[in-house]
Amino acid sequence: MTAAGGRGQISRKERIARAAAGMPAEHPELVTRKPGRTEWRQFIAWLAELWPNDEYTAIVAEALRRDRRKERKTGGDHHGSRRRGA
């Protein structure tokens, strides 16, 4: 994401995000800013180019179905957490 407006001080949240991503402090793009309408359109166009037959959506949907089936079979949380008081 490119920075909106002029060059000003960056927030603490932005500095932390840049450090976590290994970005230099002087980099002109913001990590924490939400994309604008034009950027979403560009993102959608890239997705359509990468997966013209919507394969990514099918992959994600199948993974969700598998997870739900697994939850039903095991009777609840499949992430390995324990119930309190058990």
> How distant, in Å, are the alpha carbons of 53, 54, 59, 62 from that of 49?
9, 10, 16, 21
Which of 41, 38, 17, 36 shows the shortest CA–CA distance to 27?
17
Tens of pLDDT along 14-44? 999 999 989 888 888 888 988 899 999 998 8
Q: Give the whole-angstrom CA distance, residue 86 versus residue 73.
A: 20
**Is residue 3 a contact partner of residue 29, using CB atoms and an 8 Å limit?**
yes
**Is the pTM above the cut of 0.85?**
no
Q: What is the pLDDT of residue 39?
A: 93
Q: What is the pLDDT of residue 86?
A: 42
